[in-house]
Amino acid sequence: MAAVVTATVTALHLHQLPLDCSDVLASGVSVDGVYSVFPTHDPEGFMVYCDLSTDGGGWTVIQRREDGSMNFFRGWEAYRDGFGTTTGEHWLGLHRIYTLTRSGGYELRIDMADFDNATAFACYSDFSVGRDSVNPEEDGYPLTVDGYSGTAGDSLLKHSGMRFTTKDRDQDQSENNCAAYYQGAWWYRNCHTSNLNGQYLRGGHASYADGVECWYTGTYQHLTGTTPSGTQSSILMPSL
Ligand SMILES: [Ca+2]
């Protein structure tokens, strides 16, 4: 037992740079903003937005929608590499999400708001992308998610195990391309119960299921009836 403790302490000493925003928070910083992180599987690092205030803080933001200024109907390379502005609307990128989460232990939190400023959230105690993949891109960056809690209801568990589909790379189980059909990009199964990268539509719209609002269960459906004004998806390495 003593040897295990020693090994753990040694490993901690080697982490001079933050692996993620939970390390940024642990270093004593408490202001939300853009920080550099250096995941184990991408030691050169990259910039992320750290939410250091929501629910205890330490969240690495992987997606934000807030004003519709960014086009989210993009192809595979954009979703793989990320796009947008870290301080505004953006998608961090599948490969970066993979490098952050492949060591395991990450929690996912999705915060949603509607145009009436009502809010709801969904938390998943286990979240990773491509965790068991030798070549994650070839494997389609498959989603693993488990352990729901929150106020929004669950709309993601049905997507667990699915590969990521964009309008130019169909990896879903539908005879159609769900990303093209619903104008988004997601871990679709046989299209969706959630579609957080769908179109940003203001207010109610007649088109079916192609907006960001697609979070179909629980209180969130009741919450809006219209399009949400924003979402923020963030991940956290829980302290164990
Ligand atoms: Ca298909």
13 domain-assigned: no
113-127 confidence digits (pLDDT tens): 877 777 888 999 999
Q: Does any domain span residue 6?
A: no
| Ligand 1 center from residue 182 Cα (angstroms) | 12
Helix (H, G, I), strand (E, B) or coil at 10: helix
Q: How far is the CA of 159 from the centre of ligand 1 (A)?
A: 14
Q: How far is the CA of 56 from the centre of ligand 1 (A)?
A: 40
Residue 230's alpha-carbon distances to 7, 51, 195, in angstroms, are: 43, 15, 13
Domain that holds residue 135: 21-238
25 is a domain residue: yes
DSSP 157: G
- pLDDT(51) > 90: yes
Does the residue 8 lie in any domain? no
All residues at 6 or more sequence positions from 231 whose CB lies less than 8 Å from its CB, including other chains:
63, 64, 65, 110, 111, 112, 113, 196, 212
- Give this prediction's pTM: 0.86
Quote the tokens at residue 59.
């969240």
Asked if the structure places residue 154 within a domain, the reply is yes
Give 150 Cα–ligand 1 centroid separation in angstroms: 31
Cα 35 to middle of ligand 1, angstroms: 37
- Is the residue at 119 inside a domain? yes
Per the model's pLDDT, the better-predicted residue between 211 and 68 turns out to be 68
State the DSSP string of 175-217: SS-HHHHHTS-B--SSS-SB-TTSB---S--SSSS-BTT-B-S
Is 10 inside any structural domain? no
Identity of the amino acid at 4: V
Q: Rounded to whole angstroms, how far apart are CA atoms 184 and 206?
A: 17
Task: Report whether pLDDT(67) > 50.
Answer: yes
Mean pLDDT of the chain: 83
Model confidence over 179-216: pLDDT tens digits?
999 889 999 999 867 888 887 765 444 444 444 445 75
The total of structural domains in the chain comes to 1
Distance 52 CA to ligand 1 centre (A): 38
Q: Is position 195 within any domain?
A: yes
How big is the CA angle at 168 (ends 231 and 111), to the nearest 5 degrees? 10
Q: What is the CATH number of the domain that holds 54?
A: 3.90.215.10
